[in-house]
Structures are given as C-alpha cells and as structure tokens.
Amino acid sequence: MLQILVEKRKNIYWLSQISGWGAYSLSYLLIFLTLNKTEIYHTLFFIIIFFAGILFSHLYRMIIKKGKWVELELNNLIPRVLLASSVTGTVIFSTSLLLFYLFDPSGITQLGAGVILIHLLNLTVILLLWSFIYFTVHFLENYQRSEIERLIWEAAVKDFEIKTLKSQLNPHFMFNAMNGIRALIEEDPQKAKTAITKLSNIFRYSLKIERTETVPLDEEIKTVIDYLSLEQVRFEERLNYETDIDNNVLGIEIPPMMVQTLVENGIKHGISKLTKGGIIKISAKKENGLLVIKILNSGSLSEKDLKDSKGFGVANTIHRLSLLYGEKASFKISNNNGFVEALVKIPTGGTLNASYNN
C-alpha cells in the first residue's frame, strides 16, 4: 500500500512538472505568435526552456530535500527560497540561451537586453510560484499527518482513561458487596448462598465490561438489582428500592457501572446517614432522542455539596460521559422534594466520539 502511494505521488509530481513547464513555454510561444513573430528560433528557444525548466527545477527540489528545507522556520526558509528561485531561473535561462546559440548562432542577436531581463524576471517569478506550491503541499501534508497523529494519541489517551476509570470503580464496588455478604454468613447461611450467587453474577459482569466501552441498559439494571439485594441484607428494612424502566430502552447502550455507581453513592451518602433509612428509585425512558436515567435517593445535599459534587463520587461519571459522548451527554445532581436526584441524559444510537466508533 505504501509503495502504491509513493508511486502515485511520483506520477503526480512529474505530471505537474511537465504540464507546468509546458504551459509556461506554450503560453509564451502563443504570445509571440499573436505578435506575428513566428521565426523558428522562437519555437526552438521555448522548447529548450521547457526541458531546462524541468531539469533544473528537479535539481532544485533535490537540494530542498537534502537540506530538509520543509522543516525550517519561515524566517530561515524565505531567504533561501528567494535566492534559490533567482539562481535557478538564471541557470535555466542561461542554459537555454547557450543551447539556443549552439543551434542557431544568428538568432541570439535578435534578443535584446530588455527581452533577456524580462525572461529572467519571469523565470524567477515562475520558480517562486513553483516553490510556493511545493512547500504549501508539504506543509499541508505535514499538518494532516500531525492531525492524524494527534487524533491517534487522543484516542489512546481516552482509551487509557476509560480503562483507568473502570478499574477504579471495580475494587470499590466489590469491597462494599463483600462486606454485605460477610454479615450474612453466620446469621443466615441460605441468604449468604443467595448473596454469593448474586455476587458471582456481578463478578461475571465486571469481567465482561473490561472488554467493552458500553453495555445494554438491561444488563446494567440486572447488576444494580443484584447489588441492591446485597445491600438490603446489610441495611434490612432501612433500604428499599423501586425501578421503573421502559421496555423500549432496555437495549440502549450505556457506560458500564454508571448506574450502579450512582446508586452506590445514593446509599453511602444519603440513606446510610438517615436513621430511618430510605428508598432508591431508578427510572429510565426515552425523551427527544435521549435516554433519560433518573436515580433518586432519600436525603438532601447542601448548596456547597451540590456545587462541589466530587466528594460524592460523581466526578468519574461526568468524566466518562465526556470521554464517550462529548457535549451530547449531560449529568446533573440536585435536591428534589426530600430526595437527591441524579439525572443522566445520553444520546441513543451511533453517537460515541470518533475514537470509539471503530
């Protein structure tokens, strides 16, 4: 594939050389024709310039490549280009004039000083234009290459951040679940067995999410219910929960462990601090092309806590939503009539950031 691209680039270069110098020589020949100067030496002279232009501009290109001019700053590049264009233009004209003299010694006498000066200036301008096109193409290619490298780097960083965030979630979650099971072992072995089964389901889910960036909502909800069942054993009558999940949204993909984390926060920072305990309410539905997930837990937050919610473990949720969906997703936490409400809105269907679409 690389060899094909190199060959294609060479073909474009030589096609540009031939067409460019051909157009220059032919345009001047047509000008002379319109002035009724159709002597053979005019045609011969511009044919020589055509071949000399290709040859010496190619040598000029070799000097550029050898000196790595495309890597120079503009303040160092511009003087080199001005000097090289002037010298190359002079060499092309001088070589053409010499060859023309060898073919037709008498014809050179018809070229006055003014004509010679005009040709020198024109060739210098042509070489400056040639240089401008050459360096513009290379600068654009370098810019495109750097943009691709930047995107690859950003994708790698995002992938690393996603994996880091998930690895931070799992140990915390498993630690809380194990504490709930420990309380059951002596008190009610049968419930302990049931709890271990639920925990094994959670472990299985945890292993799965290491290989994916999103999971269907129904899988996440099943894990959350297993988690809440374990926590109910620990909190007994102090913890209740309700779910209201629209069947139409069960297949929508969401970041794994996101709902579970918010539920866990609601228990840890809300219900566990209430003497009488409280309730967790989870709902999910589709509104205006968005998946709207709402987690309510009994309790309230101070204004200071609402402004700085990092202490309540939601910073990673905000970060993950940003990495995966950019500005298309949103997260908000607020007080709502005796409850703390965590509201997540996620776009549905093919809306992951570019680095996660592959």
CATH number, residue 189: 3.30.565.10
**232 burial via Cβ count (<10 Å: 0-12, 13-18, 19+):** middle
CA gap 224, 209 in Å, rounded: 14
Answer yes or no: do 138 and 207 share one domain: no
Residue 163 lies in a domain: no
Give domain status of residue 173, yes or no. no
Same domain, 120 and 199: no
Which of 151, 174, 207 is the last residue in one of the domains?
A: 151
- Assign 301 to helix, strand or coil: coil
Q: How far is CA 318 from CA 153, 281, 356, in A?
A: 22, 20, 17
Looking at residue 356, its pLDDT comes to 39
Which stretch of DSSP H or E encloses residue 277? none
CA distance 227 to 260: 8
Domain count, the chain: 2
The range of the structural domain enclosing residue 103 comes to 2-151
Of the residues 110, 133, 151, the one at which a domain ends:
151
Q: Would you give per-residue pLDDT tens digits along the chain (358 residues)?
A: 445 555 677 788 888 888 888 888 788 777 766 765 555 556 777 787 888 888 888 898 889 888 888 888 888 888 888 998 888 888 888 887 777 667 666 655 555 666 677 778 888 888 888 888 888 888 887 777 777 777 776 666 666 555 555 555 556 657 766 776 777 787 788 888 888 898 888 888 877 776 677 889 999 999 899 989 888 877 888 999 999 999 999 999 998 888 988 898 888 888 988 989 999 999 999 998 899 999 999 988 877 776 666 544 577 778 778 878 888 899 998 999 889 999 999 998 654 554 434 3
Distance CA 331, CA 321 (A): 8
160 in a domain, yes or no?
Answer: no
pLDDT for the residue 296: 95
Tokens of 275: 């003497």
Q: Mark whether 142 and 203 lie in a shared domain.
A: no
Q: Both 190 and 130 in a single domain?
A: no
Q: How far apart are CA 353 and CA 340, in angstroms?
A: 30
Angle between helix axes 315-325 and 258-269 (nearest 10 degrees) is 160
Per-residue pLDDT at 357: 41
The pLDDT of residue 249:
93
Q: Is 37 helix (H, G, I), strand (E, B) or coil?
A: coil
| Domain annotation covers residue 156 | no
Q: Is the dihedral of CA 226, 227, 228, 231 positive or negative?
A: positive
Q: What is the pLDDT of residue 247?
A: 93
The pLDDT of residue 14 is 85
In eight-state DSSP terms, residue 213 is S
344 in the same domain as 271? yes
**Cα 246 vs. chain centroid, distance in angstroms?**
34
112 and 200 inside one domain: no
Neighbour count for residue 174 (Cβ, 10 Å) = 14
- Claim to verify: residue 222 and residue 146 sit in the same structural domain: no
Residue length, the chain? 358
d(CA 97, CA 120): 11
* Token pair in block for residue 81: 């280009």
pLDDT at 355: 40
Q: Note whether 228 and 146 are same-domain residues.
A: no
Choosing from 151, 169, 201, the residue where a domain stops is 151
Domain assignment of residue 161, yes or no: no
Residue 216 lies inside a defined structural domain of this protein:
yes
Say if 158 falls within a structural domain.
no
Contact 277, 316 (CB under 8 A): no
Based on the fold, state whether residues 45 and 135 are members of the same structural domain. yes
Q: Are residues 199 and 344 in the same domain?
A: yes
Same domain, 223 and 267: yes
Structure tokens at 298: 């009994």
Does residue 109 sit in the same domain as residue 55?
yes
Of 242, 248, 267, 341, nearest in space to 300 by CA: 341
Cα–Cα distance measured from residue 253 to residue 220, given in angstroms and rounded to the nearest whole number = 10
* Any domain includes 280: yes
pTM (2 d.p.) = 0.54
Determine the Cα–Cα distance for residues 123 and 129; give it in Å rounded to an integer.
10
